[in-house]
């Protein structure tokens, strides 16, 4: 941990100058209280760096939540072990998951499944209560519930240090969340422009509490966060069903953890109620279970929060990029990706080259930096990896 300024504390030992400069700029906003914190996985982002913890008084910066509202992880510890699945063909399960969960940007379900119906009903009720129509953003939003997306989103089957089998996935609010986020980022920019509010960068435009613009954002933000959480639950239920078919026996869930890492909520820190925005960070108050995935092919972690006061009860959400997607594609080869994924069942395609582990920070360094933020309960190693193009 290092104090960069009196309003900015940094927990990352691997951080570039551009990200430091972006974080200084964000921390300089007058409504930041008590201070801004960057997590061990911090890297350059749109408007606000990924790996940011931003507490604010009376205002919210929509870009500091991000465009994938409510993105996060869910994991299930099953009652199976490595021995139970050792003789089974992992490719069969990978392909079954790929059929059960629509992958890649723009791919939706063909119909609303029976398991999704009550989740859709709940979201429709919440939207009516919030006074908005999600169909005004994305007409087919109902068909997006239970879809993965692309980029760094994944579904994995992993083993922990005791060889227990875990099912693990990472996704968010899909196209509907992106449209909501983009709309309110523009609304914040218009709001600040109309009031001649000076900004160090237009993506740090904010909405002020007590205004109609703020109230609308909060209502739709909370809805999108719930969509993301239910989206992960729907996908995980499908993964559990495919795993059940694969092993030929029911799965008993010993534990399920579902946590956001792009979101805002009301919290109390340093004696005041603030809006706490975590963009690429998980809640890690004392005793809270959490999930920190590594990059494709590397270890992931099941953790418990330590309640670090200076981090505002937060922890990193993953490894954090060191290479942009374009730079990764120019730097690394498909053979290097195959070598990194040796022993893991995955779809061997150049589409995943920008997700090669070498494009990310070393997860071991990230977790060492996070030693005052979380305690590690389980270390997971992948056996199957599913991703969208």
Annotated active-site positions, please?
A: 317
User: Which H or E element spans position 80?
Assistant: strand 72-81
How far, CA to CA in Å, does 201 sit from each of 23, 193, 204?
12, 12, 6
What does DSSP say about strands 50-56 and 272-279: parallel, antiparallel, or unpaired? antiparallel
Q: Is 237 exposed, middle or buried (0-12, 13-18, 19+ CB in 10 A)?
A: middle
Q: Is the peptide bond prior to 34 cis by the omega test (within 30 degrees of 0)? A: yes
| Three-class DSSP category at 321 | strand
Residue 196 DSSP code: T
Cα–Cα distance for residue pair 190/215, rounded to 1 Å: 16
**CB-based contact 60:217 (threshold 8 Å):** yes
Residues with Cβ within 8 Å of 124's Cβ and at least 6 positions away in sequence, in order, are: none
Check if the beta carbon of residue 320 is closer than 8 Å to that of residue 366: yes
* Per-residue DSSP letter, 203: G
For residues 252 and 78, the answer to whether their CB atoms sit within 8 Å is: yes
């Amino acid at each position: 941990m290092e104090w960069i300024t009196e309003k900015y504390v940094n927990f990352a030992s691997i951080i570039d100058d551009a990200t430091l400069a972006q974080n200084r700029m964000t921390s300089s906003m007058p409504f930041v209280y008590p201070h801004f914190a960057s997590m061990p996985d911090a890297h350059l982002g749109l408007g606000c760096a990924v790996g940011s913890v931003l507490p604010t008084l009376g205002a919210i910066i929509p870009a500091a939540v991000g465009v994938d509202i409510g993105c996060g992880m869910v994991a299930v510890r099953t009652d199976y072990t490595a021995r139970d699945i050792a003789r089974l063909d992992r490719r069969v399960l990978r392909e079954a998951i790929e059929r059960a969960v629509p992958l890649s940007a723009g791919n939706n379900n063909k119909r609303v499944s029976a398991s999704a119906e009550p989740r859709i009903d709940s979201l429709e009720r919440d939207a009516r209560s919030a006074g908005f129509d999600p169909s005004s953003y994305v007409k087919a939003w109902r068909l997006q519930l239970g879809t993965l997306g692309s980029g760094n989103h994944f579904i994995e089957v992993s083993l922990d240090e005791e060889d227990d089998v875990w099912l693990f996935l990472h996704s968010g609010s899909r196209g509907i969340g992106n449209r909501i986020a983009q709309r309110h980022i523009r609304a914040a920019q218009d709001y600040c422009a109309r009031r001649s509010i000076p900004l160090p960068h237009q993506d740090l435009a904010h909405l002020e509490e007590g205004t109609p613009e703020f109230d609308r954002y909060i209502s739709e933000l909370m809805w999108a966060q719930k969509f993301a959480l239910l989206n992960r639950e729907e996908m995980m239920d499908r993964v559990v069903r495919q795993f059940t078919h694969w092993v030929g026996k029911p799965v008993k869930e010993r534990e399920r953890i579902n946590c956001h890492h792009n979101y805002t909520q009301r919290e109390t820190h340093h004696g005041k109620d603030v809006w706490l925005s975590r963009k690429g960070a998980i809640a890690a108050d004392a005793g809270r279970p959490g999930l920190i995935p590594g990059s494709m092919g590397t270890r992931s972690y099941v953790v418990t929060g330590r309640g670090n006061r200076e981090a505002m009860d937060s922890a990193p959400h993953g490894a954090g990029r060191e290479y942009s997607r374009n730079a990764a594609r120019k730097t690394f080869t498909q053979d290097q990706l195959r070598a990194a994924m040796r022993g893991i069942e995955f779809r061997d395609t150049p589409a995943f080259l920008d997700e090669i582990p070498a494009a990310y920070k070393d997860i071991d360094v990230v977790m060492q930096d996070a030693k005052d933020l979380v305690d590690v309960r389980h270390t997971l190693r992948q056996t199957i990896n599913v991703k969208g193009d």
